[in-house]
Structure 1
Amino acid sequence: MLLILWMPLAQGHIFSKHIDLSEPNLPAIRKLLIAALDSKKTTDSLYINLESIKNRSALLTGYMGALEALKAKHTWNPYFKIKYLNDCEKTFAKAVTRDPHNIEIRFMRFSIEHNVPNFLGYNNNLVTDRQEIIRQVDNQYYAQADKLLVKTIISFLIESKRCTLGEITDLKKHLASL
């Protein structure tokens, strides 16, 4: 399960191991999440830091869901892979319920479900997430997502081959206008 969703954001950044997450800093969390794609240690550390935050926002809850998916990626034990994916699914359900129009939450869940093998059955939200992401792109409502992240989201949707030709045409227009 490769989560390459944030890779374009990683180019040119240096990851600090001493980022203080007591005050959530979204750019720092995003950078650490990119590093966590290939590091069990970073995944576990970021998970512990975010878990310690009381009254997490819907977006931080979404990051927790992404980290649970990464925990599944990094473990060798099949039981724990399924356990972490189940946790991920529940965590994303909470995040989406709390902020159903957040493009970043929807994108994280979409990209994870896109990359999990179909036979595992963790792809129930692909269509609704795709539709919601496209609706938010059309409305130019990006929540806390910056321009680079929005470009990454649009490019990922196009490359996922899960969009209709009409959606791809519209997404390419939005991408060109950013």
Structure 2
Amino acid sequence: MILFFTFWSFFHSVFAAQEINIPALRQLFYEARDSEKKADLLFEKIGNYGGKEGILIAYKAGAYALKAKYGANPLNKLKNVKKAQQYFSEAVQRDPQNLEIRFMRYAVEVQTPDFIGYSEHVNEDKNLLLNGLRKFPNSGFTLETATIARDFMRQYCECSEQEKQFVQQLRL
């Protein structure tokens, strides 16, 4: 009987991982910035991910960051921010050139209040993203992620005037 449950757990985890749809996660992450319901759905889909794929770990980090955003308890908010930071670090370590991972970490860090002290990668990620946008379509950005990054940076970029002008004028 134990062998059956072990096999079933392995089988389920392998096929559950294959069911993860990155474009669907991307859409949920984007919509969750304005919807607690979408944030909960994102967490439901990826919050228990235990694999090693950098992009999926980044979405897990994003789900924890959104839990912090919508949470009511300050201690739980801080705990979720720390988990997000941990998972983003792991995601970047696994796939350091992935611009989508870097964008998600940037989007979370740039919107995290300064007093929490979780903004250490903002400049590094911003520079990678701007460079990726300059080199698009030969940068590793897909059209979808480049468009999302550009639109986000138009609104939230901690950029110089020259960088802001570049982002505002960028056509993809």
Instruction: Determine the structure 2 residue equivalent to 1:153.
Output: 149
Match in the other structure for 2:11: none
Of 105, 111, 127 in structure 2, the residue corresponding to residue 109 of structure 1 is 105
Structure having the higher helix fraction is 2
Contact 2:62 2:84 in 1 (8 A): yes
What RMSD over aligned residues (CA atoms) do the two structures have, in Å? 2.4
Query: 1:51, CA displacement in angstroms?
Result: 4.2
Q: 1:62 aligned to 2:58?
A: yes
Structure 1 residue aligned with 2:114: 118
Task: Classify 1:45/1:134 alpha carbon distance in 2 versus 1 (closer, same or farther; 3 Å).
Answer: same
For structure 2, the residue ranges without an aligned partner over 5 or more in a row are: 1-15
Distance 1:155 1:53 in 2: 28
SS at match of 1:24: coil
* Bigger Cα displacement from structure 2, 134-143 vs 102-111: 134-143
What SS does the corresponding residue of 1:47 show, helix, strand or coil? helix
Equivalent pairs counted in the alignment come to 156
Q: Structure 1 residues 25-34 or 73-82, which shifts more? A: 25-34
Shift of 1:104: 1.2
Q: Which residue of 1 aligns with 2:167?
A: 171
The alpha-carbon deviation at position 86 of structure 1 amounts to: 0.4
The structure-2 alpha-carbon separation of the partners of 1:51 and 1:162, relative to structure 1 and needing over 3 Å to count, comes to: closer
Whether the 8 Å CA contact 1:21–1:49 is kept in 2: the answer is no
| Structure 2 counterpart of 1:47, from 43, 49, 53 | 43
Alignment of 1:25 with 2:21, yes or no, is: yes
- The structure-2 alpha-carbon separation of the partners of 1:115 and 1:57, relative to structure 1 and needing over 3 Å to count, comes to same
Deviation at 1:22, TM superposition (A): 4.1
Deviation at 1:134, TM superposition (A): 1.4
- Which residue number corresponds to residue 79 of structure 2? 83
Which AA in structure 1 matches 2:25?
I
The one of 158, 165, 169 aligned to 1:162? 158
Distance 2:86 2:49 in 1: 18
Q: Which amino acid aligns with 1:106?
A: R
Output the TM-score relative to the length of structure 1: 0.75
Greater relative contact order (Cα < 8 A, sep 6+): 1
Spell out, residue by residue over 1:120-175, the C-alpha distance to the aligned partner (whole angstroms, 9 max, x if none). 111111100101111222232454x54233122123223324112332344345x2
- Counterpart position of 1:6: none
TM-score, structure 2 normalization:
0.77
Distance in 1 between residues matched to 2:51 and 2:73, nearest whole Å: 31
**Quick one: structure 1 residues 162 and 69, their matched pair in 2 at CA, closer, same or farther if it must change by over 3 Å?**
same
The 1-side partners of 2:28 and 2:89 are apart by: 23
- Which one has the largest radius of gyration? 2
